[in-house]
Chain A
Amino acid sequence: MLLQVRSLEKTYSRGEETIRALRGVSLEIPEGQFVSIMGPSGSGKSTLLHLMGGLDRPSSGQVILGGESIDRLSDHDLSLFRRRKLGFIFQFFNLLPTLSALENVALPRLLGNESLKEIEPRARELLGMMGLESRIHHKPDQLSGGEMQRVAIARALISDPLLILADEPTGNLDSKTGESILTLLRDMALKTGKTIVMVTHDPKAASYGNRLLRMRDGVLESDETV
């Protein structure tokens, strides 16, 4: 099993109030699945995604990814783990505005002190797969939203990760561009056998996956495999 989530809880305290964002979520994801998570706003989708990606630590429960219990890792090791084993795609693309498309894609491996020369062929290849050959040296502000998101997908793939996590990747795109991004994502998953977990509140987007989780008030409401 690629990913195991065991009775995950996450509580936030905001002043006096405590918010139970996750109230015991357990699930398993085998390799190669494209999982969509749906649910109303505030239901805990992002929180779950963040915990699965090691961006935050659970209040209780465990996340085991690739056989490794990631909540045991130190902050430093967790950073290295994200760098090597995970890919993230965000709603607002979150490319670094100062870097070219190529450098943005290469960034996770650059952070691992590989030289751009070493990474460049792979980065170019990925940008090619995303149909961005002609955009390699452009800065984010010279790209359209769809193009930016495709750069972000390439970035998520550069380290050849075990798992790709996407939080509302089409939330900031028009529906046509969104569809093309989703198609790209699905084709890529099929071709490379990558595992994807995607949060969305758009049923149409969710339908690109082959498994659908529904959340409500911090618990898993349903789990259907298509």
Chain B
Amino acid sequence: MRLFNVFRHIGLSHLKARPARAVLTTLGVAFGISLYVAIAIINHSTRNSMRDSIDAVAGKARLSISAGIAGFPEDRLEVIRVIPGVKSAVPMIEARAFFEGATESADGLQIMGVDLLQEASVRTYKATDQKIIDDPLTFLNQADSIILTQNLATKRGLKIDDKIRLSTALGAREFTIRGLLEPEGAARAYGGSLAIMDIDGARVSFGKENKLDRVDIVPRNGEDLNALQTRIESTLGAGYRVERPETQSEQMERMLDSYQLILTFFSSLALLVGLFLVMNSISVAVAERKREIGTLRALGATRSLMVALFVSEVVGIGFMGSALGCILGKGLAHKMSSQITTSVAAQFQMRIEISHLDFTTSQMLFTLVAGTLAAVIAAFFPALRAATIHPLESMRRHSESSDPAETRRSNLQVVFGVLLLVFMSLSMIFSWGKVWIGIDLLTKASAVLGAALFGPFLVLGLLRLTRGFGAKLSFPVLRLAQENLLRSRKRTGANVMALMVGLFLVMLIASVRSSFHDTLTQWLDRIFVADIMVGSNGRFISGDVQAIQDSILPELLAVPGIKPIGTDRGAATRIIPYYYEGKKMAIKAIDRYADFYRFQNIPVNGSDRVQTALDWYESPEPAALVSRGFLTNAGKKIGDHFELDSPGGKVSFRIAGEIIDYASSQGVIYLDRRVYKKHWNDSLVTVFVLNLETGYTFEQVRSEIAKRLGKKWNLVTISNREFKDQMQSAVERSFAYTRVIETIALLVGLLGLLNTLLISVMERTREIGVLRAIGSTRVQISKMILFEAVIQGFFGACVAILLGAYVGRLFVEYALTEQLGWIIEYHFPKQSVWMTIITGVLVAAVAGIWPARRASGLEITEALDYE
């Protein structure tokens, strides 16, 4: 009650008296929260959509049987059907198709080839015209029939009876839309990017004659699932995966975990900057109201009441900020979701279409409570100082001047910051985070907190170093600005902190991005030496394309201007995803054309390239080259053996060497395509690589290929250059979402700086009055404040670059390599240095405008009277 009174009469009056500060602080909290909320929504929705998708495809099925991308023999279905306990077993062909001319994986769609006569026992469909499902005979009678989802049709502007061209294993083919599905049952899967075809049609179109990709099992009532699963596994033998839908979800979720953790980490940084802002506001308010607090204490207010007063002022700010953050966050989630989907697709070769972004009421309530609480906690520490203010303070006229306790505190901060950075370094280098996830989080948090606490110290150091500079320039305003910054370590520290953390984040992200980008570019230059790539629509990089029959190779080689690579053995690569112990890896089955380049394109790590490649191709027993990711995930080393499930059963491979390949972070396995073809019974090809005969230009050959084969096969021919460009823009796209994070962090930094600059102007009102009285023009005052802002922005950026590059290096070399399984070399983001500095200066200048106007607009006589 007492608190309520104090708040109502004193706290509220202060909030009203300083509306700008209250608004800025609220906005700071709001922006911080919004990013956090957006990422939370997206992470949550990604998982939900993935789970929904898996459930939707599974329908009533409790188990599903698969054998990898190459499928398994059709006749197994009869074997499965008679296993005791199986009520119904429904077959499916799964394939990825692309709209003609597609270059983005977003233009792909999932094909479900089903037997509509059997479907009803597992999956439900609701079509806009239900006849098509209930009486599928007309549908089946026409071979070009396809059913799309309403969703996809709307997105692409299609309607019933329209014709669409999709790339298939037989080349580009035309299909007629016979029906549209409402978003119910199976049509919820893949965010609606799916098409239903008849199973036989799908087999032909996607090169899966006599095969099946998946059989869904509905067990008899009361059947023990575990027992049934074992029974099926033992009946079918090795090479088959029998899974529950839940297990599938869990596996995919585990894969997403580390990725989502990084997102959460980034977003919590922005939140942290927002909380700094709260801390700052309160610590300034306490300093500013020393006299008032002293008076209240003299009048009998207790210490705890004083702390409570400041904390109570923050409750409203925290709550409003959180509420606004929830609203902004929802909008932000919409903006970011497609970027993150793209990024996930690039990293995991799996496109999770987010069907809807959900933000539940309980999530919102949680955010409101947690956001408010976080703000209160942030306010608590500076508010504690209110308790230490002596009642005699009320009698003092001036409360400025350096306070030894203050100096001690800021020294302590610097030491603490350094300790955090040291801990972070050690933890990253010795990967303590692996021991327990908590340490991992702590390490990341210390990187930021350490930078936030230690950074201002460096900034002040730089300021001191360049102190004489302003004086030499005989630029009094600059000199005044410098001195003002140096005068109050605390104030400058606070100013710099928020902006610096924002810039630090920019530099950290830039470090990661440029390391990825440069590492990949260098790798590509090594691995991809051929002049031309020929494949089907889709994304070449990850092999997310429609595969084609390898029988077209002779036709390709007959095109004038094309020089075959290596021997007559061809020049084809088959890339397939493969689950190894639940981890999604990539198998690359490669023709032995590589010797043509002395195996230049086989980037072997650690041993002699030619020797290793020969050992691999010429090994009497099946051999493989594997990436670091595989070695880590499988816990193997070179020389060990491992088994892969093939439709023909388990095959054991000897690890002949370690290759560097970024197709999958989880692991990449190189096989000789002869070996692959034999065991997987799959002659499809993902991509052909070819060379140009001298005397021909790439364009000539491209148009010739298009003329001879293009139409029929829907081929895409790209040059070495184009491929590399595509690859780089893919990297850019997968980092696109980080721009939003950077922007938010900088925005919060801007608010922080704006807030502290306003405060510093206010604190110096008298001084500004004096300067005006003795003849400063308004322009000079304005310049002085702007200089202060810009100097802080500039030095803040310098320190952010230093710390960001340092932490970025550790992060790339240790944490990322550890987490992603990719060997990524650190590359200093040169291009970002200027960008960071310019951004820092610009943001600071923008933040300085309003305070500068305030300062220059002061009335002299009032300013002189200001206490």
A residues neighboring B (CB under 8 Å) = 46-47, 50, 53, 55-56, 75-76, 79-84, 86, 88, 90, 92, 94, 96-99, 107-108, 110-117, 141, 155, 159
Is A98 in contact with B774, judged by CB distance below 8 angstroms?
no
| Contact residue among A75, A90, A99 (Cβ-Cβ distance under 8 Å from B864) | A90
Bound-complex Cα distance A47 to B859 (A): 13
Q: Name the B residues within 8 Å of A76 (CB-CB).
A: 777-779
Q: Is B476 an interface residue (CB 8 A)?
A: yes
Is A79 in contact with B861, judged by CB distance below 8 angstroms?
no
Q: Name the A residues within 8 Å of B780 (CB-CB).
A: 79, 111
Name the distance in Å between A106's Cβ and chain B's nearest Cβ.
9
Q: Name the A residues within 8 Å of B770 (CB-CB).
A: 88, 90, 94, 96
Is B778 in contact with A75, judged by CB distance below 8 angstroms?
yes
Q: Is B480 an interface residue (CB 8 A)?
A: yes
Is B776 in contact with A111, judged by CB distance below 8 angstroms?
yes
Is B774 in contact with A107, judged by CB distance below 8 angstroms?
yes
Q: Name the B residues within 8 Å of A155 (CB-CB).
A: 774
Chain B binding surface SS class: helix
Bound-complex Cα distance A218 to B570 (A): 105
Bound-complex Cα distance A86 to B861 (A): 16
Is B774 in contact with A110, judged by CB distance below 8 angstroms?
no
Chain B interface residue count, CB cutoff 8 Å, equals: 31
Given A76-B777, A90-B770, 5 new contacts (CB under 8 A): A53-B773, A76-B779, A94-B770, A113-B474, A116-B471
Q: Name the A residues within 8 Å of B779 (CB-CB).
A: 76
| Contact residue among A79, A81, A114, A159 (Cβ-Cβ distance under 8 Å from B776) | A79
Bound-complex Cα distance A144 to B592 (A): 90
Name the distance in Å between B485's Cβ and chain A's nearest Cβ.
9
B residues neighboring A (CB under 8 Å) = 400-401, 471, 474-477, 479-480, 483-484, 486-487, 766-767, 769-780, 859-861, 864
Q: Name the B residues within 8 Å of A159 (CB-CB).
A: 775
Q: Name the A residues within 8 Å of B401 (CB-CB).
A: 141
Given contacts A76-B777, A79-B776, A94-B766, contact A111 B476 (CB under 8 A): yes
Q: Name the B residues within 8 Å of A86 (CB-CB).
A: 775
Is B773 in contact with A82, judged by CB distance below 8 angstroms?
yes
For the complex of A and B, the 10 pairs showing the least CB-CB separation, nearest first, are: A83-B775, A98-B483, A110-B476, A115-B474, A79-B777, A94-B770, A55-B860, A82-B775, A98-B487, A56-B861
Is A55 in contact with B766, judged by CB distance below 8 angstroms?
no
| Contact residue among A84, A88, A114 (Cβ-Cβ distance under 8 Å from B773) | A88
Bound-complex Cα distance A82 to B484 (A): 23
Name the distance in Å between A13's Cβ and chain B's nearest Cβ.
13
Bound-complex Cα distance A79 to B782 (A): 14
Bound-complex Cα distance A79 to B859 (A): 13
Bound-complex Cα distance A75 to B779 (A): 10
A-B pairs with beta carbons under 8 Å apart, 14 shown: A53-B773, A55-B772, A56-B861, A76-B777, A81-B775, A84-B775, A88-B770, A90-B770, A92-B766, A98-B483, A108-B774, A113-B476, A115-B474, A116-B471
Is A79 in contact with B864, judged by CB distance below 8 angstroms?
no
User: In the complex, what residue of chain A is closest to B477 when comparing beta carbons?
Assistant: A111
Bound-complex Cα distance A50 to B772 (A): 12
Is B774 in contact with A82, judged by CB distance below 8 angstroms?
yes
User: In the complex, what residue of chain A is closest to B776 when comparing beta carbons?
Assistant: A111
| Contact residue among B400, B483, B772, B861 (Cβ-Cβ distance under 8 Å from A99) | B483
Is B775 in contact with A50, judged by CB distance below 8 angstroms?
no
Q: Name the B residues within 8 Å of A80 (CB-CB).
A: 775, 777
Bound-complex Cα distance A20 to B391 (A): 38
Name the distance in Å between A19's Cβ and chain B's nearest Cβ.
13
Bound-complex Cα distance A79 to B778 (A): 8
Is A55 in contact with B773, judged by CB distance below 8 angstroms?
yes
Q: Which of A79, A81, A90, A116 has the most CB of B within 10 A?
A: A79
Bound-complex Cα distance A79 to B777 (A): 5
Q: Which of A53, A55, A86, A115 has the most CB of B within 10 A?
A: A55
Is A107 in contact with B487, judged by CB distance below 8 angstroms?
no
User: In the complex, what residue of chain B is closest to A110 when comparing beta carbons?
Assistant: B476
Bound-complex Cα distance A180 to B371 (A): 60
Q: Name the A residues within 8 Å of B471 (CB-CB).
A: 116
Q: Name the B residues within 8 Å of A108 (CB-CB).
A: 774-775
Q: Name the B residues within 8 Å of A115 (CB-CB).
A: 474
Q: Name the B residues within 8 Å of A88 (CB-CB).
A: 770, 773-774
Bound-complex Cα distance A141 to B401 (A): 8
Is B476 in contact with A107, judged by CB distance below 8 angstroms?
yes
Q: Name the A residues within 8 Å of B480 (CB-CB).
A: 96, 98-99
Is B474 in contact with A111, judged by CB distance below 8 angstroms?
no
Bound-complex Cα distance A48 to B373 (A): 53
Is A97 in contact with B487, judged by CB distance below 8 angstroms?
yes
Name the distance in Å between B520's Cβ and chain A's nearest Cβ.
51
Is A111 in contact with B774, judged by CB distance below 8 angstroms?
yes
Q: Name the A residues within 8 Å of B400 (CB-CB).
A: 97
Q: Name the A residues within 8 Å of B778 (CB-CB).
A: 75-76, 79
| Contact residue among B484, B769, B773, B777 (Cβ-Cβ distance under 8 Å from A98) | B484
Bound-complex Cα distance A173 to B767 (A): 20
Bound-complex Cα distance A79 to B486 (A): 27
Bound-complex Cα distance A92 to B42 (A): 59
User: In the complex, what residue of chain A is closest to B777 when comparing beta carbons?
Assistant: A79
Q: Name the B residues within 8 Å of A99 (CB-CB).
A: 480, 483
Q: Name the A residues within 8 Å of B767 (CB-CB).
A: 94, 96-97
